[in-house]
Amino acid sequence: MRCVSSSPRVLVAGLGGTIAMTGDAAGGVSPTLSARDLVDAVPGLDGSGADLEVVTFRNRPGAALTLGDLVELSGLLARGFADGVVGAVVTQGTDTIEETAYVLGLLHPGDEPIVVTGRALPLPPVGLSPTVGLYTATLGDDGGLLPVLAGSLDGLVIAGFGVGHVPESWVPHLAAIARRIPVVLTSRTGAGFTATSTYGYPGAERDLLARGLITGGALDPYKCRLLLQLLLATTPSAGEAREAFIDITRAADRR
C-alpha cells in the first residue's frame, strides 16, 4: 500500500565508508556515524521541501562491502520506490563507489534516480581547525615577514611568481619553515602547473623543492590551502598530511 505524502519522499541509505568515519583512540579513523548523523550535519535540509527517510543499511569501509550487500540494498530501494519514494541517495566509501553505482544501475529497472556519493576525507573533529596561511610573492618583498607569519601556522601555501619562484632572500626563511610545517609551492598566475624540474637558481622551484617545499601541481593557491587545511585536520600528524597532499596532487595531475 502506497503512503500518501504532500512532499516528495527521498530515501537516504548509509553504507559507511570515509564519509561516516571519525577518529579512534589508536589515531586512525573508522565508520561510526549513522546515516542520520550525516543528514543532520547538512545545513538547510529541513527547508528543502523533501521528506527524507533515513536508513543506516550498513556501516562498513567501502572495501568491506560485498555483492550480497548491494543486492540487499537494491531490494530495499525497490521496496521504497514501490511505496512512493521518488529517488534515493546512497552514501558509502569511495574505494568501491563506482562498483556500487554500476550494480544498482543493473538491478534498478525503473526511472527513479539513485545517487551514490561519498567523500575522500573524513569529517574533521569538531572544534579542530588547523591554521594554514597563504603568502603571495610581490615585487620588492624581501620575505622578512615570513617567519613572523609562520610562527602561528600549522601549514603555509606560497603563491610564487610565474611557475613557482620567489626572491632569493626568501629561501632561508622558507627552508626553516618547511622543517617545521608543510609548505606548499604554487603559482600566483591562477592557472597552469607549478614547475618542478626546470629552473635551478636560488628561489626557483628546483631549489625550493630540494629544501623541503612541496608542489601544488595544477591546483591554484586557494585550493591548495583548503586541501592542506582539511588534511591537517583529518590525519594524525603533519608528516602524514604532507604525504597525503603529495599523493592527492599527483593523482590530480595525472587526470
3-state secondary structure of 189: coil
Could you give the C-alpha distances from 226 to 20, 156, 221, in angstroms and in order?
Answer: 21, 11, 9
3-state secondary structure of 172: helix
| Closest CA relative to residue 155, chosen from 128, 188, 178 | 178
Catalytic residue among 18, 96, 194, 215: 18
Is the distance from CB of 104 to CB of 110 less than 8 angstroms? Answer: no
91 is catalytic: no
Cell of 169: 632572500
The total of other beta-carbon atoms located within 10 Å of residue 52's CB is: 18
Q: Which residues are catalytic?
A: 18
